[in-house]
Amino acid sequence: MSVAATLAARCELCRFRRDDRRNIEQVLPGLASLGSAYGASIGASALCEKHDCFVSPRDVCAAFQPSED
Amino acid sequence: MSEATRVLPGQARAQGVDARPARWAVFSNEDWWSVWIGLLVIVVAWALFANGSSLKWLAVAPAKWKTLADAWQGFASHWPNYLALFAAFALLFGTGLAVLGHSLPRFLPAFLILFVVSLLIFTASAWVQASRYNLEAPLLALALGLLVSNTVRLPEWFQSGLRVEFYIKVGIVLLGATLPLTLLFWAGPVAVGQATIVSLATFFSIFLAGKALGLDKRFAAVLGVGGAVCGVSAAIASGGAVRARREDTSVAITLVVVWAIVMIFVLPFASRALGLSTAVAGAWIGTSEFADAAGVAAAQAYGDAARNAGGAIAGAPDAAVQAFTLMKVVGRDIWIGIWAFVLAWVAATRWNTSENGVQAKADAREIWARFPKFVFGFVLASALITWIASHYSLADYRKVVTPDLVAPISTLRTWAFTFCFLSIGLTTRLRLLAATGWRPLLAFTAGVVVNVIIGYVLSVHVFADYWNGLGG
């Protein structure tokens, strides 16, 4: 994949990236008991609905689909 | 006000990585808000003090009482103060949470309930017989919260007021006002040295045990950092850094929460049984607890026990929380960005691309991004009060500055901590925690054993003199 294509297909722009702190606290039981999705430690990580894992904005994968926003 | 989302605005997508424009960065998370709130309180306290007044009127707390009539009289004669205190807290916390995307209509009634129950707990712990029955406020708050949340179905809106991490971070910033900067510089290197030894030993114990038990490397790493560095925050940071599966991060969080709550009760009890001084116990708790909130609960419980023990526990009561904070915050928390970056680099370059095919690169900007910014507030608070104190003799500092400036800040800190402890209990619903399976449990427990033993040896034998110097 070319550099330009990689940049265009990154997680930051993908429809599967769910960057929602409230949702993260709901789907990770116990997170809000002794932690928080609103603190600094989470950084720019967000959940990928496709792979059900944490991703960072510049990550890439073959399942990329552009967000509608 | 919309519920919390951080959906990237369309314009920002074309610009780069961060969702928020840079000008909002210092209002973008609970860490920064705890810095602003904590420092605002200290600056206001100082401004009043400098003008011959004090924050004492606002920083009200129940006095010792013998009979229920005494307790009621104490409240009745200070109810305007308590009302003002509630309003001040609601304004400070509410503003921060609203900017972060929480719902104020949900937060305010929830926080009112939290405040009232905290007042009741504070009052109960002020009973002259409380220490006889081990009714220290942190343990009382935690136990009550656990009982309620695990027997009664609490409404969803009530969760909006239970911001554990936010309250503890504000409390820790305010705690900085009671710690001279010179002490930070003196004890800091010891804290870093001791914590580094324990953290590395704990991480590798868990990681290698996890690998031996057949766990995925990324999962083992998240478990390891959760146990070695700063608990839930570390689990979420490392989970993000190594692109862990949500399910694995969830299990790591469960193990941290369960063990952290166990340690809130076990460590103070063990410290008492072993006759440890407050500072040494605080240091041990700082190496062997898994989360800031849980550790402060344990350390404050021990400090409260010392306050009421009539000399049976050596050391100043506040030394327990101070030593804990130095060990945990300075010794462990501040390194989370580095841990995350190193693990991200290892995961990206040494481990297989994760099964899902996500390709990631390690980014050194993670070190700053994940850095616990509230530590700046803690250090700045210490620096500010140290500078103020430099204008007074020691005698005048104790006679004038402590009661009129530092003590009110300490009282507000205790309130913030009480909100935190009660929130821990009320948010910990054991039946909702993820099932862990025996292999992660065993791997994590291996780290707990290593952590507790090495932490004990270093705190009680190797560095005891340093820690006892805190309480002097």
**CB of B424 within 8 Å of any CB in chain A?**
yes
SS3 A10: strand
Report the distance separating Cα B269 and Cα A9, nearest Å: 54
Residues of B with Cβ-Cβ distance to A16 under 8 angstroms? none
Q: B43 is written with which tokens?
A: 């600056």
Specify the pLDDT at position B21: 34
Residues of B with Cβ-Cβ distance to A36 under 8 angstroms? 30, 163-166, 233
Report the distance separating Cα B111 and Cα B76, nearest Å: 21
Predicted confidence (pLDDT) at residue B439 exceeds the cutoff of 50:
yes
Over residues B293-310, mean pLDDT = 91
CB contact (8 A) between residue B237 and residue A56 = no
The amino acid present at B168, given as its one-letter code, is I
Region for B5 from its dihedrals, namely left if φ exceeds 0, alpha if ψ lies in -120 to 50, beta otherwise:
beta
Q: How far is A58 from chain B (nearest CA, A)?
A: 7
Q: How far is A2 from chain B (nearest CA, A)?
A: 14
**DSSP code per residue over B375-405:** HHHHHHHHHHHHHHHTTS-HHHIIIIIIIII
CB B186 within 8 A of CB B391: no
**CB of B34 within 8 Å of any CB in chain A?**
no
The amino acid present at B37, given as its one-letter code, is I
Residues of A with Cβ-Cβ distance to B240 under 8 angstroms? 42-43, 45, 54, 56
CB contact (8 A) between residue A19 and residue B4 = no
Angle at B89 between CA B83 and CA B92, to 5 degrees: 140
Residue B285: which of B346, B293, B420 has the closest Cα? B293
Note the pTM of the prediction, 2 decimals: 0.91
Predicted confidence (pLDDT) at residue B272 exceeds the cutoff of 80:
yes
CB B370 within 8 A of CB B339: no
Residues of A with Cβ-Cβ distance to B232 under 8 angstroms? 30-31, 33-35
Residues 366-395 of B with CB under 8 A from A: 366, 369-374
Over residues B444-458, mean pLDDT = 96
Using one digit for the tens of pLDDT, what is the confidence trace for A16-35?
999 999 999 999 989 999 99
Per-residue CA distances from A51 to A41, B338, B440 (Å): 22, 26, 22
Q: How far is B144 from chain A (nearest CA, A)?
A: 15
Backbone angles phi, psi at B429, to 5 degrees: -100, 105
CB B237 within 8 A of CB A43: yes
Q: Which residue of A has its CA nearest to B333?
A: A41
Contacts of B85 (CB under 8 A, 6+ apart): B58, B59, B60, B415
Residues of B with Cβ-Cβ distance to A22 under 8 angstroms? 3-5, 101
Using one digit for the tens of pLDDT, what is the confidence trace for B110-144?
999 999 999 999 999 999 888 778 788 888 999 99
Report the distance separating Cα A28 and Cα A60, nearest Å: 24
> What mean pLDDT, rounded, does chain B reach?
90
Residues of A with Cβ-Cβ distance to B427 under 8 angstroms? 32-33
Q: How far is B24 from chain A (nearest CA, A)?
A: 14
Over residues B149-164, mean pLDDT = 94
Q: How far is A4 from chain B (nearest CA, A)?
A: 13
Q: How far is B428 from chain A (nearest CA, A)?
A: 6
Specify the pLDDT at position B188: 85
Residue B92: which of B166, B23, B20 has the closest Cα? B166
Whole-number percent of chain B with pLDDT over 90: 77
Of B98-107, B162-171, B302-311, minimum mean pLDDT range: B302-311
Report the distance separating Cα B252 and Cα A30, nearest Å: 10
Question: What is the β-pairing status of strands A53-55 and A46-48?
Answer: antiparallel
Specify the pLDDT at position B1: 27
Q: A36 is written with which tokens?
A: 């928080």
Specify the pLDDT at position B352: 67
Residues of A with Cβ-Cβ distance to B417 under 8 angstroms? none
Whole-number percent of chain B with pLDDT over 70: 93
CB contact (8 A) between residue B4 and residue A52 = no
**CB of B10 within 8 Å of any CB in chain A?**
yes
Of B14-28, B153-167, B317-331, minimum mean pLDDT range: B14-28
Residue given tokens 């006002």 in the structure block: B177
Report the distance separating Cα B316 and Cα B329, nearest Å: 20
Nearest to B250 among A28, A61, A62 (CB): A28
Using one digit for the tens of pLDDT, what is the confidence trace for B321-375?
999 999 999 899 989 999 999 999 999 888 866 566 788 888 898 899 999 999 9
Q: How far is B420 from chain A (nearest CA, A)?
A: 9
CB B239 within 8 A of CB B252: yes
Report the distance separating Cα B281 and Cα B456, nearest Å: 9
**DSSP code per residue over B46-68:** HHHHHTT--GGGTS--PPPBSSH
CB contact (8 A) between residue B249 and residue A54 = yes
Residue A37: which of A48, A51, A27, A49 has the closest Cα? A27
Q: Which residues of A touch B (CB under 8 A)?
A: 11-13, 19-22, 27-48, 50-63, 67, 69
Contacts of B390 (CB under 8 A, 6+ apart): none
Q: B124 is written with which tokens?
A: 């109960």
CB contact (8 A) between residue A45 and residue B240 = yes
